[in-house]
Copies of this chain bind each other. A is one copy, B any other.
Amino acid sequence: MPAVFEEHLGALTDGIADLCALVGESLRQGTVSLSTADLALAEEVLGRHDYITYECHRLEASAFTILALPAPAGGQHAVVNLLKSVADLQRMGVLALHIARIVRRRHPAHAVPTELRGPFAAMALHAVRLAGDASTAVQRRDRHRGAELAARDDAVDALHRRVFSVVLEQQWPHGTAAAVDATLLSRYYERFADHAVQIACRAGSRPPRSQSRRRRT
């Protein structure tokens, strides 16, 4: 019976790793559309959101099905952790969506003034990589990546503070609307990165025996 459990858990793990990569891709495209005021690309991110929501619901339903199966020791803990990661992925999808919406709202103007495009691009590069690394950690059930990712999340937090310091400079010449957009965007990236770290921190939280049997390298 545990073999059935393992099989279903493997499929759930794969689905979550794939979705983690996909929301990372949404954030990447959303950021490109933000950097270039590219409405078509923003629309692509917006159009994908229904699929992300659907996948979250599908994975959640699948997790509840697995919970009803006879499980090895610690197996339920692993499923619940994956369920929590689905909730993180749902938020990450919404955050990428929010970024694309700001691009659409400001189009054809740029939502982000020139001097903030660097910090936002850097935040996005970190956040997209964090999503990729979280995906890998989930896939490999690697419990050791969480701490590493948390350290890198500090770089995102530092950029988040940098955005605020630019916006709050006396000579900010772009008006209140641009300040509001920058505040929200910075918060979206910061939250996205944090969710990715949470996912990675939960990866591999399986009982040692079962884990060594299933770990992929």
State which of B76, B83, B168, B184 has its C-beta within 8 Å of the C-beta of A176: B168
**Does A177 have its Cβ within 8 Å of any Cβ on chain B?**
yes
Contact with B along A109-141 (1 / 0, CB 8 A): 000000000000000000000000000000000
Partner of A64, one of B80, B83, B177, B179: B80
Using Cβ atoms and an 8 Å threshold, which residues of chain B touch A187? 184, 187
Q: What CA separation (Å) do A84 and B56 show in the bound complex?
A: 14
Q: Which residues of B contact A183 (CB under 8 A)?
A: 179-180, 183-184
A87 within 8 A of B: yes
Docked Cα-Cα span, A168 to B105, in Å, equals 14
Task: Please state if A64 and B77 are interface contacts (CB–CB under 8 Å).
Answer: yes
Task: Indicate if A40 sits at the interface (CB-CB under 8 A).
Answer: no
Chain B residue contacts of A180, Cβ below 8 A: 164, 167-168, 179-180, 183
